[in-house]
Structure formats: C-alpha cells, structure tokens
C-alpha cells in the first residue's frame, strides 16, 4: 500500500500534476515534490476561492432582469419543431457570452507554497519518495555527504494542520531555510517571529481574507527569524514544521463571509506545535486508520520491487503485478476520499482539495452533471460514509440560492434548482456555455442523499437531512414538469442529454433521474408518514415518462425520439443512468433493456476521458460483465492514469479515481436491487481473492472469500434486524449459515438465500461438505 519513486517531482506545473504526491485532511491539502536541495509543499485550503459576493456584480448566475415568456417560448419551439439547438436555449435562457462569468463565478485557488531549502546539501544517493496510504504518510529520504536524511509529511484531520518533520541519522545535520510563498493575485503581509511564519491578506478578486501560519520548531542547533519573513535553522538534530491556513469564508448565503481566520489559524498552529511531532503523528494515524482500515481487498497481487511509475508503465505484462497495482489503485481512491473530504469543510471538488493554479481547469469547481456525484460513488460502498457529510451539507446549502433561481428564472414558486456547475458561493443559475442547462442536477444530488439512507436506515438522518432536500427538489419538478402533447406524459422540457445532442422534450437521462427522484420521495415520504406528499409523488410517477426506449438499431435511446447516431462516441453516456447509479435496468429484471444498454455502450466504444472510462466500469459491472468492467479498469490504468496515480481527463481530474474505486466495488458486491449480490461481476483476471468491510444497502457489512472464481465463504454483519436476502452463484450447492457458532435457519430458491439474523453478530455462509 505504498506509492514510491526514485526521484523528486520536477518543480513545474507538469511535475505538480503528474508526479507530486498528495496528502490532505479534508479542509487542507498539500503535494510533496521532494527536491533534495529545495523542497516544495504546494498547499491548499478548500475555502480559498475568487469570485462570489465581494465581486461587485455577483448575481449567483441568475438573470439580471426578468425575461417574461422566455421559458415558454423555448418550450413552444421544442414542441413545434421537435428539437432546437442548445445554442438557442443558451441564447434565450443562459448568460450572454459577454458576461464576465469567470470573474464572478470565481475559481478555487492555490493557497501557496511552503518552501524549504537546504543550503550546502550536495548530490543525493539512495533517494526514495513515497506515499504510504496504509497510514497516510508521505516520506522523502536519501543519503548525502554520508548522512541519511529523512523527511516525513502528513495532513491530520485530528489537529487540522499539515506536519513536516526533517531529521538525519547524525546529530546537528539539519540546516535549512523555510518560507511561505503565495500567488500574486492577493495582498500579503509576511512576518516571522519566534519561528512562526505568518502570511495574511485578501484576494484581489473579492476581498476574501486569508491567513496561513507555519511554526518552525528545531531540536538542537539555532533558529533565527529573518526580516523577509523566512525562518532559518542551523545545525539542528531535527526540525518540525506545522502549517495551518484559513479564510473568512462561511457557507452562509448570501454574503458567504464569517470570522477573520486569524484566531482559528493561530490556535490550530499553537496547539499543534505544543503537541509535538510524535503526539501529532499518533493522533493522525489513529484518526486515519479509523476510516482506512475498515475495509481491505486482496486479489492475490504481487507488487514488483520497482517504483510505482515503472509498475504503471509495465501494467498489462504480468498478471500478479497487474493485480497488485489494481489493489493499490482501488485503495488509493479511498485514500484520496479520506484526504479530500472530511466533516467540517467543503466537499471534494474536481481536483479533490489539490490545485496549484490561479486559473485551474474548469475552475476546479463543483460540476453537477456527473463529476461531484462520481466523487461520492464509493463513499458508502467502501465504508467511508462520513466522508460524504460535507457533500450532503453542500447540497443542502444550495437550496437557499436555488430557490431564488427557481423563482426568478422559471417562475417556480416552491422548490429549488441548480444547473450543471456551482461554486462555493451558491451559484445555482445559468452559464455562458451550452452545457449549462441541466436543472436535473438537484434531483440527481437528492438521490445520493437518499441512497445514503439506504445504507444506514438511519431515520433521523432521513427526516432531518435527506428528506427536506428531496422533497423541495420534487416540489420544483412538480411545477417544472410539462405534459408532452405527443403522448400526454410528464416530461422535462427543455431537456438535454448532458453535453450532447439537441434540446428536446424528455431526454432519457432527465426522465430516468426524475423517475428515481419521485420513486425515492414516495418511499421516503411513506417511511416518515408524509402521506400527502407520498400521494403526490405516486401521482407524478403514474404520468411520468420513465425514459426507457429501445430504438431502431437495438440501442437504448438517448432521446425520446429515435435519433441516436450509431457512430457517436461521445464520452458522456448519460442515458446509462438507469443502469448506474439508477436501478431501472438490470440483466435479471429487465433483460431486453439491459441488452439495449450494451448495444449503446458498445457503439460509444470503450474510449473516453478518465471519468468516462471510470463510469463505464460501473456500467459493465451492473450489466454483470466482469471481464468488460475489468477491461475498462485496465484501459483507465493504461491511458488515463498519471505516474502519481491521479486520474487524468486530461488534465488531472479526481472523479475518475473515485469512479474506478466505485467500479471495483460494483464488481464485487451490489445491493441496489434490495438483494445482497455476491461477486456479481467477477472478472477472470481475479480468480482468487478476499474482501472485507464492504457495505451493502440495508445496513450490512460484507466480506467474501473466493477461490477459482467461486465464493467459498460469505461474511455478513447486520446492523439491524430483519430478513437478509443474498444472491450468489455459491448457492447452486447446499450451504450452511452460521451465527454465534450455531446454524441459522434459512431457505434457498435458486441463487437466492434468505434468513433472519438472531442478533447483530457476524454471520458466515459456507458451502456444505
């Protein structure tokens, strides 16, 4: 569980993107370059964004003046002409292209660089730079001038800081200068006193106040503060640096400002510095392991004794090495989620928490038409539910600005909406690009809040968090849905399959998302006793077009009319939503639709950007084709993965890491159809293996051991009472079910096994004889 390299990352943009190693505690992230004479830790804090309130004409993406009749006119044109160009929808409902959208929307910012230089240090031998994801620790070590130098780095959520320790195997050998550099787009006051470097100021864009502090503590030797704000150490045995950063951002509509960060940042650094390196390390490892060690996956891999970039480059040559890389890549997705999404901060953005630029790709924002959703695909399944807390809070926080957007842009009186991308300042309105029109994003996001309930069955969470969001989303759609004059069905209008094709009525993905929204809302309303709203949802479901059609070439139609082009290879394959994360299409329950989905996926080819390949792993797993899912995973490793194992679109975009980890999970365990499906899509490449700690809907934790492609033992830990239904090829033969050392009564029917646990103790299902 280690990524390692025999050289530093070059101190360039490309070096950052492809080779630096990420650490993070959710709120903060840093990347380690590991240069011998000069170390660079580029660092981030989630709330440092340009744009938003503070930019004079910030308007949340809403129209600057009412456009009476605009929506009705677009709708009428689509009904009359069948389809219109997305450019025309943009011209009528979007932002004019001369709007300075980027200035107002803003972008996620690099906070700065912690630079450490080591004067007089010569050439290094035995160099190694590593990231140990089994403990959340980065390390650089080498020998220079007969001395072994070691640098250790971690970002701890337990203490809210980033920690560096520099040591040597001989006393008095650490001599270094430390400074913090920040990008040009802000004011700055830089000071150093008592080993504490402090940089503070405000972003030029929006006046957002920021502050970062680093405490340099030396053991032995001498330490001096410099007038230029750097701190130098000479002849120390070791040096510890703790770094914190913050802004006066608060996720609080409409001003999005809170307290000045000075006190918070000072307290974090003061208290961390008092704890010292070993105390911080112990706290970090405890906190990290509490999440990371909840699950494990073994595929029988054998990692070659070679740097990770070489292992990646050699992928596809040796099956045992391939499996080792796949195990590592899977676990890395979990590592990255823990590092970039923890309670108390914002969700993981397009780059998680890591960005080195003032103008990052796609603003390093929250794209709501697949990307942020994909970030959280693996949260529940891989037993990291807590990491999704910031995501649910963020979605919840979009409601307030989203109500204004729904009212001002569409005349919808109840409910909220957001479109295809948002920032940290409640941008729920339009955009100056044809991709923007995607008011279904709120419905998709709501589905994820409800899916989390399915894993936990936590009614308090459902009542307090998920249901209010879902219901208000459904309220928007109650008003926004239109009756299609062609067949009297309720449809989204306008409706576009994300980023491809014309604007129409009732594109498949829109309808599939809305089918899921109203199905979930009906179920949730039933559980919570909101019978009036359950009835409303039922009523909509009775009239809603479900978005499922098989077209002239056997394909699953992407639009309501049969206009799919069999030669289209666009990376978005949104009409597969019903396969994943939706549940309308499955080989066992709707075989004809599942075949049609395969026809469409084959036509689109296996090519695509990083996240596109990652999503396709999930699709093929849900279509129960493990070999094809594995082929997509292999394609992703070969063509969409950087030497530091970050996913690349290109450029670096983290969603593909999370999507791939989710895809592996879907190959091993599925539970979206109310049954715990064991090894539903196991590829031939993984004949033997072991997994523990996976989570299934219904609050069950699952472990599986398999040999020669067949499960030999299934382990289930139920969190609740009630019947458990397991689907597995193992059940072809007789099985025994044990709990507390004695057998549990069960029934089998074909590949399905049913039983009621006596209590919460572990259950073992084994083949008889």
Q: Kindly state the smallest distance separating residue 570's Cβ from ligand FUC, in Å.
A: 9
Provide CB contacts within 8 A for 267, sequence distance 6+. none
User: Which C-beta is closer to ligand FUC: that of 151 or that of 649?
Assistant: 649
Q: How far is the CB of 637 from ligand FUC (least distance, A)?
A: 19
For residue 266, CA distances in Å to 181, 213, 263, 496, 621 come to 18, 7, 5, 49, 49
CB atoms within 10 A of CB 386: 15
Q: Least distance to ligand FUC from the beta carbon of 649, Å?
A: 6
Site for ligand FUC in 7-26 (CB under 6 A): none
Interface pick for ligand FUC out of 4, 63, 315, 362 (rule CB under 6 A): 362
Q: Which helix (H) or strand (E) holds 28?
A: strand 28-32
CA distance 637 to 314: 10
426 phi and psi, to 5 degrees?
65, 30
Residue 327 has a CB neighbour count (10 Å cut-off) of 21
Report yes or no: 342 and 388 within 8 Å, Cβ to Cβ. Answer: no
Give which of 412, 419, 375 is closest to 398, Cα–Cα.
Answer: 419
Tell me how many residues contact ligand FUC (CB under 6 A). 12
CB of 645 to ligand FUC, least distance (A): 19
Find the shortest distance in angstroms from Cβ 574 to ligand FUC.
Answer: 10
- Rounded least distance, CB 524 to ligand FUC, Å: 29
Q: Which CB sits closer to ligand FUC, 572 or 727?
A: 572
CB of 83 to ligand FUC, least distance (A): 20
Q: How far apart are CA 264 and CA 607, in angstroms?
A: 47
Question: Minimal distance in Å, beta carbon 420 to ligand FUC?
Answer: 7
- Is the link from the previous residue into 320 a cis peptide, with omega within 30 of 0? no
Is there binding between residue 368 and ligand FUC (CB under 6 A)? no
Nearer to ligand FUC, 20 or 371 (CB): 371
CB of 349 to ligand FUC, least distance (A): 10
698: left (phi over 0), alpha (psi -120 to 50) or beta: left
Min separation Cβ 333 and ligand FUC, Å: 17
Instruction: Name which of 351 and 728 has its Cβ closer to ligand FUC.
Output: 351
Look at the block and give the residue holding tokens 């790709």: 361
Q: Is 661 exposed, middle or buried (0-12, 13-18, 19+ CB in 10 A)?
A: buried
Separation of alpha carbons 361 and 340, rounded Å = 18
- Nearer residue to ligand FUC within complex by CB, 210 or 438: 438
Residue with tokens 């096994």, as numbered in its chain: 753
Question: Phi/psi of residue 247, each to 5°?
Answer: -135, 180
The CA distance from 583 to 310, in Å, is 39
Kindly tell me which of 625 and 655 has the beta carbon lying closer to ligand FUC.
655
User: Considering beta carbons, is residue 358 or 400 the nearer one to ligand FUC?
Assistant: 358
Pick from 554, 565, 470: which is nearest to 516 by CA? 470
Find, among 253, 85, 115, the residue nearest to 180 by Cα. 115
Beta pairing class for 676-678 and 724-727: parallel
Contact 355, 30 (CB under 8 A): no
Residue from 113, 327, 408, 499 binding ligand FUC (CB under 6 A): 499
Of the pair 118, 354, the CB lying nearest ligand FUC is at 354
> How far is it, in rounded angstroms, from Cα 124 to Cα 139?
15
In the complex with ligand FUC, the residue whose CB is nearer, 196 or 649, is: 649
| Separation between Cα atoms, residue 634 and residue 664, nearest integer Å | 11
Q: Which is nearer to ligand FUC, 572 or 697 (CB)?
A: 572
CA 607 to chain centroid: 22
**CA-to-CA distance for 654 and 108, rounded, in angstroms?**
15
Closest residue to ligand FUC in the complex (CB)? 362
Record the tokens describing residue 451, joined without a space.
């899916």
Q: Minimum distance between the CB of residue 367 and ligand FUC, rounded to whole angstroms?
A: 4
CB of residue 86 to ligand FUC, shortest distance in Å: 13
**Smallest separation (angstroms) from ligand FUC to the CB of 659:** 11
Per CB under 6 A, the list member of 367, 399, 419, 622 interacting with ligand FUC is 367
3-state secondary structure of 760: coil
Instruction: Pick from 196, 419, 465, 649 the residue near ligand FUC by CB under 6 A.
Output: 649
Which C-beta is closer to ligand FUC: that of 115 or that of 649? 649
Compose the 566-585 pattern: x for residues touching ligand FUC by CB under 6 A, - for all others: -----xx-------------
CB of 69 to ligand FUC, least distance (A): 30
609 binds ligand FUC (CB under 6 A): yes
By CB under 6 A, name the one of 345, 371, 584, 665 that touches ligand FUC. 371
Task: Scan residues 504-523 and list those touching ligand FUC (CB under 6 A).
Answer: none
Nearer to ligand FUC, 507 or 735 (CB): 507
Nearer to ligand FUC, 494 or 498 (CB): 498
Scored b (16 or more CB within 10 A) or e, 336-359 reads bbbbbbbeebbbbbbbbbbbbbbe
Please report how close the Cβ of residue 509 comes to ligand FUC at its closest, in angstroms.
Answer: 13
Nearer to ligand FUC, 217 or 662 (CB): 662
Interface with ligand FUC includes 647 (CB under 6 A)? no
* Structure tokens, 461: 């969470």
CB of residue 433 to ligand FUC, shortest distance in Å: 8
> What is the rounded CA–CA span in Å between residue 8 and residue 453?
44
- Which one among 311, 348, 384, 435 touches ligand FUC, defined by CB under 6 A? 435
- Report phi then psi at 21, rounded to 5: -110, 125
- Restricting to residues 59-118, which ones interact with ligand FUC according to CB under 6 A? none
Q: C-beta of 177: minimal distance to ligand FUC in Å?
A: 39
- In sign, the C-alpha dihedral spanning 651, 654, 658, 661 is positive
Find where tokens 């797993």 sit: 621
Binding flags for ligand FUC, 387-406, as an x/- string (CB under 6 A)? --------------------
- CA dihedral (650, 652, 658, 660) positive or negative: positive
Least distance CB 351 / ligand FUC (angstroms): 10
**DSSP helix/strand/coil, 444:** helix
Contact by Cβ (8 Å): 611, 619: no
**Binding-site string for ligand FUC from residue 724 to residue 753, where x marks contact by CB under 6 A and - marks none:** ------------------------------
Candidates 48, 350, 395, 556; binder of ligand FUC (CB under 6 A) is 350
Q: For residues 63 and 362, which CB has a smaller minimum distance to ligand FUC in the complex?
A: 362
CA distance 280 to 248: 26
Using DSSP's 3-state secondary structure scheme, residue 18 falls into helix
Residue with tokens 């991308």: 421
State which residue, 275 or 616, has the beta carbon closest to ligand FUC: 616
Of the pair 195, 502, the CB lying nearest ligand FUC is at 502
Nearer to ligand FUC, 369 or 495 (CB): 369
Residue 493, classified by CB atoms within 10 Å of its CB into exposed (0-12), middle (13-18) or buried (19+), is buried
Contacts with ligand FUC by CB under 6 A lie at 350, 362, 367, 371, 435, 499, 571-572, 609, 611, 649, 653
């Amino acid at each position: 569980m280690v990524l390692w390299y025999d050289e530093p990352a070059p101190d360039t943009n490309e070096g950052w993107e492809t080779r630096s190693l990420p650490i993070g505690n959710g709120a903060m992230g840093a990347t380690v370059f590991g240069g011998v004479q000069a170390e660079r830790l580029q660092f981030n804090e989630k709330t440092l964004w340009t744009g938003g309130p503070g930019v004079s004409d910030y308007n949340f993406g809403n129209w600057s003046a009412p456009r009476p009749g605009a929506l009705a006119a677009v709708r009428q044109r689509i009904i009359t002409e069948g389809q219109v160009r997305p450019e025309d929808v943009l011209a009528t409902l979007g932002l004019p292209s001369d709007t300075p959208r980027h200035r107002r929307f803003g972008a996620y910012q690099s906070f700065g660089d912690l630079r450490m230089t080591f004067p007089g240090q010569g050439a290094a031998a035995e160099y190694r730079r590593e990231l140990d994801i089994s403990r959340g620790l980065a390390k650089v070590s080498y020998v220079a001038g007969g001395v072994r130098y070691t640098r250790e780095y971690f970002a701890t959520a337990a203490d809210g800081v980033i920690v560096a320790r520099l040591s040597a195997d001989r006393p008095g050998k650490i001599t270094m200068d430390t400074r913090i550099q920040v990008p040009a787009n802000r004011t700055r006051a830089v000071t150093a006193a008592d080993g504490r470097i402090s940089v503070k100021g405000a972003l030029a864009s929006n006046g957002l106040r920021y502050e970062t502090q680093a405490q340099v503590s030396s053991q032995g030797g001498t330490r001096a503060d410099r007038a230029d704000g750097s701190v130098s150490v000479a002849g120390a045995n070791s040096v510890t640096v703790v770094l914190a950063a913050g802004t006066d951002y608060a996720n609080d509509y409409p001003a999005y400002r809170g307290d000045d960060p000075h006190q918070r940042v000072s307290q974090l650094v003061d208290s961390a510095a008092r704890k010292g390196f070993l105390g911080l390390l112990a706290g970090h490892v405890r906190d990290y392991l509490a999440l990371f060690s909840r699950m494990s996956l073994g595929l029988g891999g054998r990692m070659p004794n070679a740097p990770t970039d070489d292992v990646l480059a050699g992928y596809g040559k040796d099956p045992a090495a391939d499996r080792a890389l796949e195990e590592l890549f899977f676990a890395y997705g979990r590592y990255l989620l823990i590092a970039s999404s923890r309670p108390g901060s914002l969700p993981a953005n397009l780059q998680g928490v890591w960005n080195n630029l003032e103008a990052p790709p796609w603003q390093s924002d929250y794209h709501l038409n697949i990307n942020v959703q994909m970030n959280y695909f693996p949260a529940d399944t891989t037993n990291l539910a807590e990491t999704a807390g910031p995501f649910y809070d963020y979605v919840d926080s979009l409601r307030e600005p989203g109500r204004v957007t729904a009212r001002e842009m569409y005349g919808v009186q109840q409910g909220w909406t957001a479109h295809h991308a948002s920032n940290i300042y409640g941008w729920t309105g339009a955009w100056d690009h044809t991709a923007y029109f995607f008011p279904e994003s709120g419905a998709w996001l709501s589905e994820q809040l409800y899916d989390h309930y399915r894993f936990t069955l936590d009614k308090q969470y459902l009542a307090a968090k998920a249901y209010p969001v879902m219901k208000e989303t459904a309220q928007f759609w109650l008003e926004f849905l239109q009756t299609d004059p062609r067949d009297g069905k309720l449809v989204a209008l306008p409706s576009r399959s994300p980023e491809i094709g014309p604007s129409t009525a009732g594109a498949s993905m829109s309808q599939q998302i809305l089918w899921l929204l109203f199905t979930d809302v009906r179920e949730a309303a039933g559980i919570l006793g909101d019978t009036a709203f359950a009835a409303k949802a039922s009523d909509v479901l009775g009239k809603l077009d479900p978005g499922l059609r098989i077209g002239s070439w056997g394909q699953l139609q992407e639009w309501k009319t049969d206009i799919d082009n069999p030669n289209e290879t666009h990376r978005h394959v949104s009409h597969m939503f019903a396969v994943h994360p939706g549940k309308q299409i499955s080989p066992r329950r709707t075989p004809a639709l599942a075949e049609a989905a395969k026809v469409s996926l084959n036509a689109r080819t296996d090519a695509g950007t990083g996240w596109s390949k990652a999503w396709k792993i999930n699709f093929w797993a849900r279509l129960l084709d493990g070999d094809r899912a594995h082929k997509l995973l292999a394609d992703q490793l070969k063509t969409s993965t950087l030497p530091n194992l970050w996913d690349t679109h290109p450029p670096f975009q983290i969603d593909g890491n999370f999507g791939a980890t989710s895809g592996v999970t879907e190959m091993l365990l599925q539970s979206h159809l109310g049954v715990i499906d064991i090894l539903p899509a196991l590829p031939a490449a993984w004949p033997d293996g072991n997994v523990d700690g996976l989570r299934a809907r219904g609050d069950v934790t699952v472990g599986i051991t398999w040999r020669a492609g067949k499960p030999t033992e299934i382990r289930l830990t139920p969190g609740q009472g009630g019947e458990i239904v397991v689907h597995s090829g193992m059940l072809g033969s007789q099985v025994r079910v044990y709990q507390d050392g004695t057998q549990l009564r069960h029934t089998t029917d074909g590949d399905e096994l049913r039983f009621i646990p006596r209590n919460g103790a572990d259950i073992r299902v084994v083949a008889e004889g």
